[in-house]
Structure 1
Amino acid sequence: MPAHLNAIGVATPTHDVHHAFIDWAQARLAPAPARLFARMARRAGIGHRWSVLPPTAAGASPVGAGGFYADTMPGTAARMAIYATAAPALSLLAVEALAARVPIDGITHLVVASCTGFVAPGLDQIVARRLGLAPSVERLLIGFMGCYAAVAALRSARHIVRSEPAARVLVITCELSTLHLQDSDAPEILLAQLQFGDGAAAALVTADPVGFMLDQPFAATLPDSHDLIRWAITDRGFAMHLSGEVPRRIAEGLADADFRDIVTAGRGPAGIDGWAVHAGGRSILDAVAGALALPDDALDAARGVLADNGNMSSATLMFTLERLLAGPRIDHGVALAFGPGLAAEGFGFRSAA
C-alpha cells in the first residue's frame, strides 16, 4: 500500500533576528575578519531568520540591551525552560496551518522530530494532549538527528502506513536553533550561527492518494566525515560545529556514480523533475547543484526557504516540500538532506495520480 504525504503546514515565530545578529557578530571581530564576515553574510542567501526569543520592551533583539543574551550567556536550564513552552506553541501553529489544508481528524500515530531541546514528558506528549488526541495514539519522538531528522520522520510515517493502511500519521518537526547562541569571536563559529533560525512544520501521511507518494528511502554516511557536523551539550546550550569542509565533501559524495544512482533511483539527475534539497546554506545548495549539474532553477524552492527563514534544521526540508506541493506536477522527485555523521538521507517522491 503506497503512503502519501497529503499536505504540510508551516509556522515561524514573528521576531526577525537576522540583521541584529550580523551587527552583533561583526562588533566582536577585528577589522579584517569583520570585513570577511560581512562579505560572507551578504553572500549567504539569507534575508530573514526568525526566533521564539521576543524583542525587549524597548524593541531590542535578544543580543541587544535587556535581551536574553545581553549580559551573559544563559545556562542550558534557562534555554530549555523556553524550549518547554515555545516548542509546543510553535508546533501547534504548524498543525493549525496543516488543518487549514486537510482534515486531521482520526490521527492514529504521531511522529515528532526535534533536536534543539529536551523536555519530559516529551514534545510528542505535550502536543498530543493539547490537540486532544486519543490516549491510544502511538507516538515516536526523534531527537538529535539534526537536519535530516525530517527524512527519518517521514520515512517512519511511510513504514507505518505501508504496514497499517488505515493509519493516519501526524508528523511534526520543530526546531528552536536560536536558543543556542554561543559566546565566540571565532569567525567560523559566527558564520555557522549565521545560518540558523526557528521553525516548525506539520504533515499528514496516509494511504489516501493525495499530495506526494513517498517512494523508496535511502541513506548513506560519507567515509571519514564524522567530525564535520556535530553538536555538544554544554552548560551554555548546545554548541554546534559545522566544518567548512562540508560542501566539498557533499560534492565529492554526489560525484560518485553509485551514490548518484541511489539518490536518483537509477534515473540520473536529468531524470529528476523535482528537487527538495535541505537548505543547509547557500554553499551546500551550490555544492549539490554543481555536483549534479542541475539547471539553474532546480533548487529554487530550497533557495527560497533559505532566503525567507535560514536553516531551521529538521524543519527546513519540510518547508521545501511544502512549496513543491503547491507547484507543478512532479513525476520523479528526490528529497535529500545532510546532517551529523556526515550522512545523507532522503527518499523519492512523485505527485499522486
Structure 2
Amino acid sequence: MPQVAPVVAPAVAPAVAHVVAVGRARPPHEVHGAFRAFAEATLSAPRERALFRRMAARSGIERRWSTLAPATDGGDAVDTEGFYSRGRFPGTAARMRRYAEAAPALAEAAVRDLATHTPLGTITHLVVASCTGFCAPGVDQRLVERLGLDPDVERVVLGFMGCAAAVNALKTARHIVRSEPEARVLVVCVELCTLHLQDVDDLETMLSAMLFADGAAAALVSAEPRGVALGPFRAVTIPATADRITWDVADSGFLMHLSGAVPVAIESTLARERTRNDAGGVLAGTPADAIALWAVHPGGRTVLDAVAAGLDLPDAALAPARAVLREHGNMSSPTVLFVLAELLARPGPPGEPGIGMAFGPGMVAETFRFARAA
C-alpha cells in the first residue's frame, strides 16, 4: 500500500507575553533610623560602631519599611509590640506565625494597587514568590480567598530563591502565556525581611540587616500588548560563589549571610559578559550602551556600583534602581518589580529595549530582555 504522509499542522508563533502593569505595597512603619540606633547599641566594640556608622552613611538608603512599628522610648523593646525585646528575641515559630498574618495582607495591598493601573479581568493563573516565611495554607491560597479569585485557579509557588525570585516568577508567567495565549497571570512577590532581625553583637550581621526591608509587588502578565514585552530569559551561575549569599533556617529565624565579596563577583562576571557579548550571553550581541532601560535589582549600593562598572553604564542607567534603594531599601524579591514599575511610569518610544537583572543564592544572576510594547 502506498504510504500516506502525516498531516503536520502549520507552525504557529507563540504569543508574546507582556508585563501589562505593576502594583506596589509597603508597610506603614519607617524603621531605618530606628534600626541604626538599635545596631549601634548592640555593637559593643567602639571601632565596629564607628565602622557601622560610616557604612550606613554610604549605603544609599534613606528609608526602609516594616510591618513592625519601632519603639521610641529607648527601653528593651525594639518595636511597640515587644515582638523584639533585647535578650528575648522570638524563635522561628513565632516569626512564622507573624508571617502568616502579615504577608497575605501586604500581598493583597500590592494587588489592589495593581488594579488601579489596569483592569485585572479574570485571573487564570497565580504565581507567588517569597523566601522570608512558610505557612500552609500558603500565601497563594490565602490570597485567592482575600481577593475572591476562582478557588480552582492554577497556582505556582516559588520559595526560598532569594532576591532573584521575581525574575523566575516572570519567566514562569511568560511560559504560561506563550502556551496559553488567553491566560491572565497574576505574579505576586512578598517579603517580610524584618522578621529575621538578630540580637547578636556582630558587625557583618548588622550590616546585612541594614539593607533589608518589607514589601510586596504584583504584576499582570498576559498577551495584551501593553506595558513591556518579555523577551528571552537567561541565568548565569557564577562559579565558586555558592557561599557568598546564603539564607538558612535557624531556631532564631532565618540567617542571612551576604559576603563582602559579592560585588566583586558581580562586576567580574558582567565584565566578561560585556567582552563576550555573543548571541548566548546576557547582552545577546547588543552593546550595553544600546540598552535604554535597566531594571536592575538594587541589592545594595555596592551591588549597583558593580553592575555599572562591569557593564560600563552611565549614571543615568541605574538611577531608577538607586531611587528604589533610597526609598525602600532591599525588599528581596519584590524590589526588581519596584524598579520595573518606575520604568513603566516613564514615557518612552515603542520598542525601547531593556534588560532586567537580579542576583540570588547560588550565586546566580537571573536576567531577561524586554521592550516597550508597540
| Bucket of the pairwise TM-score, normalised by the shorter protein | over 0.9
1:254 aligns with 2:270: yes
User: Percent same amino acid among aligned pairs?
Assistant: 56
Structure 1 residue 65: deviation in Å?
7.2
1:117 aligns with 2:138: no
- Conserved 8 A contact 1:278-1:302: yes
Pick aligned residue for 1:21 from 32, 35, 58? 35
Structure 2 CA distance for partners of 1:21 and 1:56, relative to 1, 3 Å = closer
Structure 1 residue 186: deviation in Å?
1.6
Deviation string for 1:197-221 (max 9, x for gaps)? 0000011000000000000000011
Structure 1 residue 53: deviation in Å?
1.4
Query: Which secondary structure does the structure 2 equivalent of 1:195 belong to?
Result: coil
- Aligned residue number for residue 349 of structure 1: 370
Bigger-Rg structure (1/2): 2
Equivalents in 1 of 2:347, 2:79: separation in Å? 43
Equivalents in 2 of 1:182, 1:260: separation in Å? 42
- Aligned residue number for residue 55 of structure 2: 40
- Conserved 8 A contact 1:54-1:61: no
Equivalents in 2 of 1:55, 1:190: separation in Å? 17
- Conserved 8 A contact 1:5-1:212: yes
1:78 aligns with 2:97: no
- Aligned residue number for residue 19 of structure 2: 5
Structure 2 CA distance for partners of 1:299 and 1:310, relative to 1, 3 Å = same
- Aligned residue number for residue 157 of structure 1: 173
Query: Which secondary structure does the structure 2 equivalent of 1:312 belong to?
Result: coil
Pick aligned residue for 2:164 from 148, 156, 167? 148
1:331 aligns with 2:352: yes
- Aligned residue number for residue 203 of structure 1: 219
- Aligned residue number for residue 263 of structure 1: 282
1:340 aligns with 2:371: no
Displacement over 2 Å in runs of 4+:
54-62, 64-67, 257-261
Equivalents in 1 of 2:95, 2:291: separation in Å? 42
- Conserved 8 A contact 2:31-2:69: no
Equivalents in 2 of 1:62, 1:142: separation in Å? 34
Q: TM-score w.r.t. structure 1 length?
A: 0.97
Q: TM-score w.r.t. structure 2 length?
A: 0.91
- Conserved 8 A contact 1:254-1:260: no
- Counterparts of 1:177-192 in structure 2, within 5 Å, are 177-192=193-208
- Conserved 8 A contact 1:60-1:67: no
Equivalents in 1 of 2:77, 2:330: separation in Å? 18
Equivalents in 1 of 2:211, 2:54: separation in Å? 14
How many residue pairs get aligned? The number is 353
- Conserved 8 A contact 2:34-2:70: no
Deviation string for 1:56-82 (max 9, x for gaps)? 596989625763212311000111111
Equivalents in 1 of 2:168, 2:76: separation in Å? 34
Equivalents in 2 of 1:95, 1:213: separation in Å? 20
RMSD of aligned Cα (Å): 1.7
Deviation string for 1:77-109 (max 9, x for gaps)? 111111001000000100110001111121000
The one-letter code of the counterpart of 2:313 is L
Structure 1 residue 136: deviation in Å?
2.6
Equivalents in 1 of 2:91, 2:188: separation in Å? 27
Equivalents in 2 of 1:188, 1:67: separation in Å? 25
- Conserved 8 A contact 1:17-1:61: no
